[in-house]
Amino acid sequence: MNLKIKHSIFLLSFFFALNFQAYAQGDQSPVEKFGQLKIEGTKIVGQNGETVQLTGMSLFWSQWIGKYYNYECVKWLKDDWKCSIIRAAMAVNPKGYASNPKNNKKKIETVVDASIDLGIYVIIDFHEHNAENYLKEAKIFFADMAQKYGKYPNVIYEIYNEPLDVSWSGVVKPYCEEVISVIRKYDPDNIIICGTPKWSQNVDDAALDPIADKNTAYAVHFYSGTHKQWLMDKAETAMNKGLCIFVSEYGTTEANGNGPVFVEETQNWYNWMDKYHISHCNWSIADKKESSSALVVGASRKGGWSDKQIKPSGKIVRAELRKKHDQMFK
């Protein structure tokens, strides 16, 4: 073998080693790394049994600020904000899926298709406070989603966003059981999230009468300016009884979405979620005139946001997401 060929082989080997190292250090997508998720005890685990903590952003109500439901925005959230999960909040009412199913379902499908292509996880969220009044619509919608996307490990179904102050056993659980039975006809594996009473706070009620589905998690929603240690205590009570918690929505402000950003209180929640490896999505990618929206009014629908286009809440959350990504792929 002559010297030129030896040199070429050496260069190819060198560049292959560099590329392999880069791939190993984080060029994998979250879905490539963790694959099919499942629930074991109180934790979400990946295909190799490793504990998984997904972190990302929720989009805003689809009927009101639907402009961010596009491929480019999802890609920016994955590449720049380092989201491992996106929540597509499909509004049901008012003027949502219940009255305009084709348009709102198309927005969700756009986000789901983008997430699958980009290798991140995605929550299909039935964003409604009175979902029991839309059981027929929910069953049709989730049957369709499960048939279309059930074969992909990317998908998580959130079948009831935030029940009001109603009975878990009398209202929320029966609704969830019917919707779950429809999903499981077509998708036996992917995780399902059930909202809990009183705006997804009374998860301890659900712990007294859980759903008989091994891959069901239970939602806890918090806004750090309003919800303090007492809500963490409720969630810990539920976890002590064996429930898996998923914070599918949280904010850095008070529950009304306005006022100051509570930096210290938000960090307390981050520390608490890290302690229990709880996955979470921030509310929200929107340019609404409120403190909990991540973007200033008029921020591009396709991402590419400069620091000036990101509000204080968005800056805090983006920094946390990027930190979590580095930890995930260290």
pLDDT tens digits for 84-133? 999 999 999 999 999 999 999 999 999 999 999 999 999 999 999 999 99
10 Å Cβ neighbour count for 174?
14
- Of the pLDDT bands very low, low, confident and very high (cuts 50, 70, 90), residue 2 is low
pLDDT one-digit tens code per residue, 184-238:
999 999 999 999 999 999 999 999 999 999 999 999 999 999 999 999 999 999 9
Report DSSP state, residue 223.
E
Q: Which residues are catalytic?
A: 162, 249
Check: CB of residue 39 under 8 Å from CB of residue 246: no
The domain segmentation of the chain, as residue ranges, is: 39-328
- Give the Cα separation of 197 and 162 in Å (integer): 7
Under CATH, which number does the domain 39-328 receive? 3.20.20.80
- Of the pLDDT bands very low, low, confident and very high (cuts 50, 70, 90), residue 330 is confident
Strands 216-223 and 38-40: unpaired
Q: What is the pLDDT of residue 25?
A: 42
